[in-house]
């Protein structure tokens, strides 16, 4: 079975299409995140990385965005403000961590956010609707890829972004080998947007670590089962 995403235009999700439209979206994004207190030093996805998600997903105007892995809710708050007309469903596994309370406090006034606790590998497939955008930042590695693939298989998502694909990591190598239309946040086309992080990071001489997004459009050259079998052996 070759995967299909009815109602979406895959060309919108290429790295060149994204880079072409991103500059025009930068001023509005900058204004939106200007309403959020900077929170450098606590981890979470950098503003320049979230900008790629924003520029990739905005043309699809999703009614719902599913987030897996909330921690302190930095990315959740950016999603809530950037997609004010969408419902943001955010799932976090660890209810006991102090991050959970920090996220609840941070997000309590956001009317379009629903905070859930549990394993997103069970919850996301139940909540996925046609046209949803998906951001996975936990689970990681091959577990995240398996979840992304299971969601894409339904044909419902307009876009699936997965965080933490640094160069030479096993999960990155897997995508580079098997998913030719996927692209990554550290592509030279996007480096200019890291200036956003300078503006948001008040620390002197910060040593920033970028997790790096993989943007996974529907696979074009392999069927779901071909990738799934390769994933099984790669993870094993
Ligand atoms: C890097 S943090 C998320 C940071 C957040 N996205 C941000 O930018 O502020 C990863 C989170 O994913 C959560 N996580 C890991 N596996 C998960 C799963 N299967 N379902 C839901 N959350 C999960 C972890 O508990 C952790 O809080």
Q: What is the pLDDT of residues 140-190, one digit of tens each?
A: 999 999 999 999 999 999 999 999 999 999 999 999 999 999 999 999 999
- Look at residue 24 and tell me if it is in a domain: yes
What separation in Å is there between the alpha carbon of 118 and the centre of ligand 1?
11
Query: Which residues span the domain enclosing 221?
Result: 10-235
CATH number of the domain to which 104 belongs: 3.40.50.150
What is the pLDDT, as a whole number, of residue 10?
Answer: 53
Phi-psi region of 191 (alpha: psi -120 to 50; beta: other; left: phi over 0): alpha
Any domain includes 90: yes
Lining residues, ligand 1, CB within 6 Å = 43-45, 68-72, 74-75, 91-94, 99, 119-121, 137-139
Number of domains in the chain: 1
The answer to whether position 120 is within a domain reads yes
* 32 in any annotated domain: yes
Q: How many CA atoms within 13 Å lie on the side-chain side of 102?
A: 13
Bin 69: left if φ > 0, else alpha if -120 < ψ < 50, else beta.
left
The token duo for 156 is: 């419902």
pTM for this predicted structure: 0.94
Q: Is residue 3 part of a domain?
A: no
* Domain annotation covers residue 115: yes
The reply to whether 215 falls in a domain is yes
CA distances from 144 to 38, 52, 118 (A): 27, 19, 15
Per the domain annotation, does 104 fall within a domain?
yes
pLDDT tens profile 25-80: 999 999 999 999 988 778 899 999 999 999 999 999 999 999 999 999 999 999 99
């Amino acid at each position: 079975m070759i995967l299909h995403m009815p109602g979406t235009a895959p060309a919108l999700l290429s790295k060149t299409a994204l880079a072409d439209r991103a500059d025009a979206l930068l001023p509005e994004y900058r204004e939106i995140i200007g309403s959020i207190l900077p929170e450098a030093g606590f981890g979470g996805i950098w503003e320049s990385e979230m900008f790629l998600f924003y520029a990739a997903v905005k043309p699809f105007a999703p009614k719902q965005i599913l987030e897996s892995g909330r921690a302190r809710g930095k990315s959740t708050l950016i999603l809530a403000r950037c997609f004010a007309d969408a419902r943001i469903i955010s799932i976090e596994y660890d209810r006991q961590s102090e991050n959970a309370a920090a996220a609840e406090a941070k997000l309590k006034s956001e009317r379009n956010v629903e905070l859930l606790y549990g394993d997103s590998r069970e919850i996301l497939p139940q909540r996925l609707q046609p046209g949803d955008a998906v951001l996975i930042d936990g689970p990681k590695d091959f577990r995240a890829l398996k979840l992304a693939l299971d969601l894409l298989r339904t044909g419902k998502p307009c876009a699936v972004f997965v965080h933490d694909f640094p160069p030479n990591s096993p999960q990155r190598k897997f995508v580079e080998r098997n998913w030719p239309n996927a692209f990554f946040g550290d592509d030279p086309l996007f480096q200019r947007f890291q200036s956003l992080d300078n503006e948001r990071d008040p620390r002197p001489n910060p040593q920033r670590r970028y997790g790096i997004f993989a943007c996974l459009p529907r696979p074009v050259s392999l069927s779901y089962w071909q990738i799934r079998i390769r994933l099984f052996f790669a993870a094993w």
